[in-house]
Structure formats: C-alpha cells, structure tokens
Structure 1
C-alpha cells in the first residue's frame, strides 16, 4: 500500500517543478533564469521541513500526517491556478516556499513508511524498489502534467490564452493530489510506530 500511495501522490507533485517554470517562460514571457529563481524557494524550505518531520510524525503518526499533508499539498497546487496573466510573479513565491516545506515532510514520511515492515535483510531490496518507484513517479508526473496541459490547450476553456491552460492544469493536478491522499486512509493508526522509535 505504501508503494501505491507513494506513486500516486508523487504523480501530482512531480509535475509542478516542470509546469511552473514552463508557464513563467511561455505565458509570462520571462527568461529561464527568472523561472529558475521562482522555483528556488522550494528547495530552500525543504531543508527546514526535514528538521521538523520527526517531531510531526511522533505527534500525529504516519496516517494522520500523510492524509493531512497530501491535502495541504494538493490545495497549494490548486492555488497556483488563481493568478491571472496580469498578476505579479512574486505571488507565486510564498506558495512555492510553503509547498517545498510540505513536500519535504511528504517525501520523508512516504519513504520511511514504505519500508517500515521490512526486515533487516530486506531493507536493501526495499530501498532499491523505492528508488525505482521514485524515478517512475517523476517521469509519470512530468508526462501526466504535459498531457493534461496539451488537452486543455485544445479546449474552449482557455479562451485562446495559453496561461489559462496552465491554470486548468494546476487545478487538475492539485485535485488529483488531494484524491491520492485517501489512499493513506488504509494505513492503521499504529502503522510506522516501529519507525518512529528508531528515529528517536
């Protein structure tokens, strides 16, 4: 179940680092350097997320953390669809910064719960499978984001504005991410307790 939830959630999350810079360059007519700086806060805040994840997991457990965190991430992705073409690019920075923080918590939690039930001699194989899962999720996430974007480009919803295609894509990806959070309802409230004790 952990691997399935991991893959489904990463599908939505992995498309954002591609879609946002692409939108800034194509719709906002900004340089690649500008689009790169806009996405940079995501990496910076991810560092802070790592330092809080253990405390959060100890307090709320894996099930509650993953369900709530996935909902927050999906909502943040949906918020990227709000600005119109005349909105300042600075509007995206706080959203991306907060998204990086919660992404860090999400990835750490999903990675550890995915191998929580493995015995010591299975850990190496489990980590290898998890690594493959992560790479697949990134590839599928990018492909999914581009496919959805292309679909919206050919609809009447965008009214001839490419920026609107990106907005509908973010909304779709965000909703998918929120829905994927329900997979974690299958976790038992005590799942991952053994991992928490190892982390203390």
Structure 2
C-alpha cells in the first residue's frame, strides 16, 4: 500500500513546533534492557523533542556475564498526543551511553521506530571496537524527503526499538567488556527530535 494511501495529506514542514501541549506516555515496555520502571520519557519544554532515560540498560561479555548478557534490547510503545491541526515525524534520534571495551572486544548499537500499522525504519548498526573507554554517541538522521509523518487526526502509537550488543572477540578472557545506554542521574539520555507539519 502506498504511503499516500496510509497517511492523510499534510502541508510543507512547519519551521516551529506547535505552542500547545505535547505529551508522550509509555503504553507498554518490553525487553531485557528496560525492566519495568527503568525507562522514563519527558518532552522538551519547547516541543522540539522528547527524551528517553534508561537506568538498567547494559550489555556485557566476559567471565562476569551470563550468556544472555551479550545482547540487550528495549521495545517501547509510546502514545504521543499533539495539538489539533499538527502532525509529526522523527527527524533525528541521538543515542548516548558509556562503553568499556577491552582490546579485541566490540560493541554495537542499533535502533528503529515506526508508527503502529506501518513498516519499521531501517536499522543502521553503529559499531565500536576496543580498546574503548569513554562516553559514546550515535545519531540517526532522516532526510526531509524520507520523513514519515503520523496520520493526521488519528492516534497511532509510536514504537521505538533499540538494541545493544557486546562481543568478547579476542579480548583477554579474564576481562569483562560492557556497553550501556543508561543514566543513573538523568544526564545521559536518548533524544528523539520532532519534525512538525500542519495537517
């Protein structure tokens, strides 16, 4: 089915977000990277973006790890309510965290998102190689021509899927490497930046 049949027509992108209230509520949360109560969502005061903060999102490989620890994922279903007469797309997603990857180890972050009833966006893997001991950040951007907007006047959940993987590779078998997408103090978070249109 063509996108033009799925989505109501919208005008050219509006340069400014709507002034009315925008809310983002977590409907469901699933995945080993975000046990219940460990993911929080907040909308920027200027309606330009919303953030997701995790507190237990960690993948690791090494002697201190369980076999299932090498891959962690999180699937959020979000209800985004926007002022009447507006619709939105996700123009950019910024993912952040911390990694301690020993020499020979590797890590990977990837994500996608989609509106309920539509096809997911492509997953773009972002890879890191040890030795690496630092904060990390990746950015997924969507060209203006490729933006997928929520249907006008219809509530459709926004589904956000993220994943972290860590592989021990040829690293010293006595060491543990890890990669997080979490923040205990709220200073590190994932940012989803809106693009706005009038319906």
Q: TM-score, normalised by structure 1?
A: 0.30
More relative contact order, 1 or 2 (CA 8 Å, 6+ apart): 1
| Greater percentage in strand | 2
| Greater percentage in helix | 1
